[in-house]
Amino acid sequence: MEQRNYNQYCATARTLDLVGERWTLLLIRELLTGPKRFSDLQHSLRGMGTGLLAARMKHLEREGLARKVTLPPPARTPAYALTPAGVDLEPVVMALARWGLTWAMDEPRDQENFHPGWAVLGLKACFDAEAATGLRALYEFRVEEEVFHARIDDGTIETVHGPAQHPDVIITTGRETFRDLAASRSTLDEAISSGAASAAGNRQALRRLHDLFRLPHRRTRSAAPSSAS
């Protein structure tokens, strides 16, 4: 597959030469949360054909953004991980996510896929560091087959796939309910009251959870009015 480029001696153009093709930044997004097997990437990026996925991963390897690794025991299976250059794209991906939360997100569309694991980065994008001042707590989220956790440490956050050791709070819910929470169509209190979600653990840490993640105020994209001549 021929790789297109802009043929411009410009840092922005050179970067887009590397990651501007369709699906490429989403692959970076997936790998920012840790090594993934080929099948993991297929599962998260439904709609991306096997041949195209293989081609994109070869491109990322060739350009020094991803590399092949072997997962530790008990898995011991081949996987892909980001190189230091790939990891350095995290601020770019997070900035795009924050821009999207403000300017691109509206109600979920019927044809759109939703993967709860995307929240591992989404929690970072919505994190209110000021609200987390002085808090040290470990939150585990169980969304059907997906499990991930967030470690809050005095205004900082670390989000990771997989269960937490000795979590302070465990939130359990279904995929659709979690999507509604992510889209602000309902609150956690409402989901718990209706039985669509449950929460267990330290009550003080649970109360603080409500303030830790805030969606930015959504704005409407519109063309600027033309000035009268």
Q: What is the mean pLDDT of residues 107-130?
A: 89
pLDDT at 70: 96
Query: Could you tell me which of 37, 42, 108, 110 has the C-alpha nearest to residue 70?
Result: 37
pLDDT at 158: 94
Q: Using alpha carbons, list the distances in angstroms from residue 82 to 106, 141, 146, 196.
A: 31, 25, 22, 36
Contacts of 75 (CB under 8 A, 6+ apart): none
Q: Using alpha carbons, list the distances in angstroms from residue 124 to 69, 118, 129, 172.
A: 26, 11, 10, 19
Fold for 11-88, please state it.
Arc Repressor Mutant, subunit A (1.10.10)
Q: What is the mean pLDDT of residues 203-213?
A: 94
pLDDT at 228: 54
pLDDT at 1: 54
Q: What percent of the chain has pLDDT over 90?
A: 76
Q: Are the CB atoms for 128 and 155 separated by under 8 Å?
A: no
Coarse DSSP helix, strand, coil percentages of the chain, rounded to the nearest 5 percent: 40, 20, 40
pLDDT band at 110 (very low <50, low <70, confident <90, very high): confident
Beta bridge partners of 66: 82
CATH class of 116-212: alpha beta
pLDDT exceeds cutoff 70 at 225: no
SS3 state at 127: strand
What whole-number distance in Å separates Cα of residue 197 and Cα of residue 193?
Answer: 8
pLDDT digits (tens, 9 = 90+) for 1-11: 567 789 999 99
Going from N- to C-terminal start, the domains of the chain cover 11-88, 116-212
pLDDT at 226: 59
pLDDT at 224: 65
Q: Is the pTM of this model over 0.85?
A: yes
pLDDT digits (tens, 9 = 90+) for 157-187: 999 999 999 999 999 999 999 988 888 888 9
Mean pLDDT of the chain: 92
pLDDT band at 99 (very low <50, low <70, confident <90, very high): very high
pLDDT digits (tens, 9 = 90+) for 134-158: 999 999 999 999 999 999 999 999 9
> Do 11-88 and 116-212 show the same overall fold?
no
pLDDT exceeds cutoff 50 at 229: no
